[in-house]
Structure 1
Amino acid sequence: MAKTKKTAKKKAATPRKIAAKKSPAPKLLSGGNPQIAKGYGDEPVQAYIAAMPGWKSAVGKRIDALIVRALPGVKKAVKWNSPFYGVEEGRWFLSLHVFTRYVKIAFFDGASLDPMPPGASKQKKVRYLDIHEGDELDEKQFIAWVKQAGKLPGERM
């Protein structure tokens, strides 16, 4: 018996509608801190800021804008679910972190700033600035701290 080959007709490719996948909102960790994947550059930092809950997102946008105004070439990253800022990649002078009732700004060599940011730390060099809802940020002083911090070597992390 002779075998006959069946010729398979190829179906013409029909265009499929591909629905744009909406990325799920980032998970909020303890205290409302957004869980954002580690990444370098402005994009992960902006994703973090956008995911900050409630009034804290506006604070994050303002802080980010002030840092960029003070140091236009600032490097950015998200590490350990917090935005980091530095003058060169891998050496950071400041980070933000969201807590239930406030946003904490850590100056890694804050003890060298004049005047020192108000919040003490268990670490000798670190100083904090906590911003609560309704607090008035002294932008002039904050920019002065950022400019000073940008001249220091920064912490390798």
Structure 2
Amino acid sequence: MPPENDGDVLSRRGAMPKKGMLSMTSRESGKPEVHKLATPTGAHPDVAFTLPETMTGRVSPAKTAVGDKPVFAYIASLPQPQRGIGEAVDALAAKTLPELHRSVKWGMSYYGVGDGWCFCCGAFASHVKVMFINGAALEPVPPVTPVGMGKTTRGVELESLDDIDERQIADWMKQVASVPGVGGKKR
């Protein structure tokens, strides 16, 4: 998937990336792509930090694996503030849903109870998305309709720890865990 064109992206083959940009070849088209480099909080502005692949709009290289360890490794691989947000969402999920199980699927952390998946959490360049499967049935309905996640998936975008409304997100977690998740049987 090509990056958004904001005027800084190269438009022709063979051009050198501007300062603060990363050039790479697209796996799909074989054409060069350019992605902005992020500067971690507190880092010197002339020192570029390469975003993990998951945050450039592509699927993360994190391998599909079931269990706590792969999810903790995925979260630990993220730069700040995304890592802190991911850790807070994970901790809230563990506190809210005692029978929680975790997995890495499609380059994101997935959470479920019973034998189905209820919601997922994925990091992007400027935010972390928490997406509730069957979220259109939640009260109130979460505000974000993620692209490519299904017609009933809804979620929230969190840019900082201050954006986490623990009461509301925990309520959505409880609601979504009370109905069958993806891949699960009716409860």
**Cα 1:121–1:59, aligned 2, differ >3 Å: closer, same or farther?**
closer
Aligned to 2:64: 38
* 1:22-53 superposed Cα distances (whole Å, 9 cap, x missing partner): xxxxx821525753221111100000110111
Decide whether the 8 Å contact of 1:34 with 1:51 is kept in 2.
Answer: no
Matched, 1:61 2:65: no
Question: Equivalent residue for 1:103?
Answer: 128
How far apart, CA to CA, are the structure 1 residues paired with 2:102 and 2:171?
19
TM-score (norm 2): 0.64
What is the letter of the counterpart of residue 138 of structure 1?
A: D
Which residue type is aligned with residue 97 of structure 1?
G
Per-residue CA deviation, residues 100-135 of structure 1 (Å, 9 max, x unaligned), is 111011101101111111112463211021001364
**Contact persistence 1:101–1:133 (CA under 8 A):** no
Alignment-derived partner of residue 77 in structure 2: 51
Partner SS for 2:121 = strand
Q: What TM-score do you get using the length of structure 1 for normalisation?
A: 0.76
2:110 matches 1:84: yes
Q: Say which one has the larger Rg.
A: 1
- Correspondence for 1:141: 168
**In the aligned structure 2, how far is the partner of 1:30 from the partner of 1:142?**
23
Q: Identify if the C-alpha distance between structure 1 residues 38 and 30 changes in structure 2 by more than 3 Å, giving closer, same or farther.
A: closer
Unaligned segments of structure 1, at least 5 residues: 1-26
Partner of 2:53: 29
Aligned to 2:153: 126
Q: Which has the higher contact order (CA 8 A, sep 6+)?
A: 1
Tell me: CA distance 1:140–1:81, structure 2 relative to 1, closer, same or farther (3 Å): same
Output the aligned Cα RMSD. Answer: 2.0
**Residue in 1 that maps onto 2:97:** 71
Identity %, equivalent residues: 33
Q: Quick one: structure 1 residues 34 and 111, their matched pair in 2 at CA, closer, same or farther if it must change by over 3 Å?
A: same
